[in-house]
Chain A
Amino acid sequence: MTPLPVPQIAAAPALDERSRHLRRLVIQALEGGGRGHIGSSMSLIEILRVLYDDVLRYRPDEPAWAARDRFILSKGHGCLAQYALLADKGFFPTAELTRFCRRDSFLGGHPEAGKVPGVEASTGALGHGLPLGVGMALAARLKKSDHRVFVVMGDGETNEGSVWEAALSAGKHRLSNLVALVDYNKLQSYGPTREVCDMEPFVDKWRAFNFAATEVDGHDVAAMSELFRRLPLDADKPTAIICHTVKGKGIPFAEGRADWHHKAKVTAQDVAAMYDALEGC
């Protein structure tokens, strides 16, 4: 097949009120738990917003609905973003966000299936989501169901060999009902992905593994919405979408900063500063 054209990545428009609202929900949870993966969650917001607003098929009052699309947040440390979307969509009350990481809360520092309505799989250790997604996509095929499987991974996560083992399987089985998305914020815990473990040429890697692969600005809601509506990109292949994002997006003093990957002690001043910064975006 002819390689898909690589779109030119333009700077995303400024965050709109919905993006700021979702980020405020994340900050509420950060404040409640006093900790959290800030940068890793903020980069994800628009990807998840587009999926939950425009793409995924689900019923908040019936999370186990058989015909739902399966969504796996393989980069489980980005769960604050998913919690914000699930609360926003009514899977559970928004007030629960303020109890993040409390002893008796169902919202932990990594998402757990069976605890959080709308979470398909317990993730946190990296490199598990795509193999699970391959199994789920095969199951959908075996059951002749038209639901799809979406797996969101971090860029650092794709250092894991199990991701590429699963990519081999997905390509072999031509799982066109499987969509792998990568939150490519260019920073992993220690520092730039290019220095820690360079994944470039990233899109080409997925193509070499028999995916239909492309890239998009992961903060451009309109561009992602348009792209995701065209899924699968190839009727005979799984899809991979590299979403170019900014770690800490929306909080300028955290943007692109490895030291904001995770904060164990979020102070009241941090919270106030984040709310303030968000309004200026």
Chain B
Amino acid sequence: MRKAALDKIHHLARRDPRVLFLGSDLGSGTLEEMRQEFPERFFMEGISEANFVGMAAGLAMEGFIPYLNTIAPFFTRRAFEQIAIDLCLHKLPVRLIASGGGVVYAPLGPTHLAIEDIAAMRALPNMTVVAVSDAEEMRRLMDQTLDWPGPIYIRLAKGGDPIVSDPDKGFAIGKAILVRAPAEILLVTTGVTLGTAIQVADHLADEGLRCGILHMHTVKPVDAETLVATAAPARLVVTIEEHIRTGGLGSAVLETLSDHRTTPLPKVVRLGLPDAFPKEYGSQDSMLEGFGLKAPQVVAAVRQAWQGVAS
């Protein structure tokens, strides 16, 4: 997914002279082909995130479209004020490509985890927050980033994630994708949890429980219209996110249904990480399992919640 995003930057740079790439201190050889082809449009600025976000703002004020890449929390924690003021207040077209969304860096410990990034970025006026499900969807997203107004936070997954998106469903920033038809149970996903939801829906279908799936790759601006319409027949809505349960997808879904739905809310279950810094290491998979976010555990959670709703 990261490679898809970075390769796309190079392609976009060929198409549009406004496109620049800025990295902090990325791995050796990152975007080497772009550096060779456009040395004056490739910047590696060192471990100074506050500066490179501000620099990008200065470039964007002059008409450029800077694409930035570093590890997610080094954007959202370290450079929060620069993102808020330099990018969001000025509504500048800077694209933050955030490596290691969620618990990708589980073995590296809590300093490298992006577990509250969506909440932090979603709180900022003028910010757009996107987490796609796989590399193919990333390519479709990147094509649309050239002319989207204002900053975009693009959350990357681990890489090598299974391709679960469907090109026939199209892609538009800010437009949720209906992956499975609305039903009495609705699973809502962002990022790679789409893959989890598909497994869960398949499994529950075998048990005779039909689940709709709505993929909200764009958490902000939230596609309220599609969400409310898709949730209309639902008696149970389950949100699944690789993020703390505070302020992320689940919160966005609850707020949106509460604000826009004219009838009483369905039961909403928010699956995610607890309000705590993870204490274990291991792998992304083992950490997700520890937090009950692997498919078999989500199946059990949905089944249990449905029993409560249906009884």
A residues at B contact (CB < 8 Å) = 113-114, 120-122, 124-125, 127-128, 130-140, 142-143, 161-162, 165-166, 168-169
Contacts and interface: CB of A to CB of B under 8 A. Distances in A.
A136 B59 contact: yes
A135 B85 contact: no
A135 B41 contact: no
Nearest to B43: A138
A112 to B, nearest CB: 8
B62 A134 contact: no
Contact of B57 (A127, A132, A143): A132
Tell me the interface secondary structure of chain A in the complex: helix
* Chain B binding surface SS class: helix
B62 A169 contact: no
Given A135-B57, A143-B62, A125 B85 contact: yes
9 nearest A-B pairs in the assembled complex, by CB-CB distance? A135-B58, A131-B54, A139-B62, A165-B51, A165-B48, A162-B50, A135-B55, A132-B58, A135-B59
A169 B85 contact: no
Contacts of A127: 50
Contacts of A143: 62
Given A132-B55, A136-B58, 18 more contacts: A114-B90, A128-B82, A131-B53, A131-B58, A131-B82, A131-B86, A132-B61, A132-B86, A133-B58, A134-B55, A135-B54, A135-B61, A136-B59, A139-B58, A140-B62, A162-B51, A165-B48, A168-B46
B56 interface: yes
Interface residues of B, number: 27
A164 B259 CA distance: 45
Nearest to B60: A135
Contacts of B61: 120-121, 132, 135-136, 139
Contacts of B57: 121, 131-132, 135
Nearest to B47: A165
Contact of B59 (A122, A125, A138, A168): A138
A275 B176 CA distance: 62
Contacts of A161: 50
A139 B63 contact: yes
A192 to B, nearest CB: 26
Given A122-B90, A139-B58, A139-B62, A169 B82 contact: no
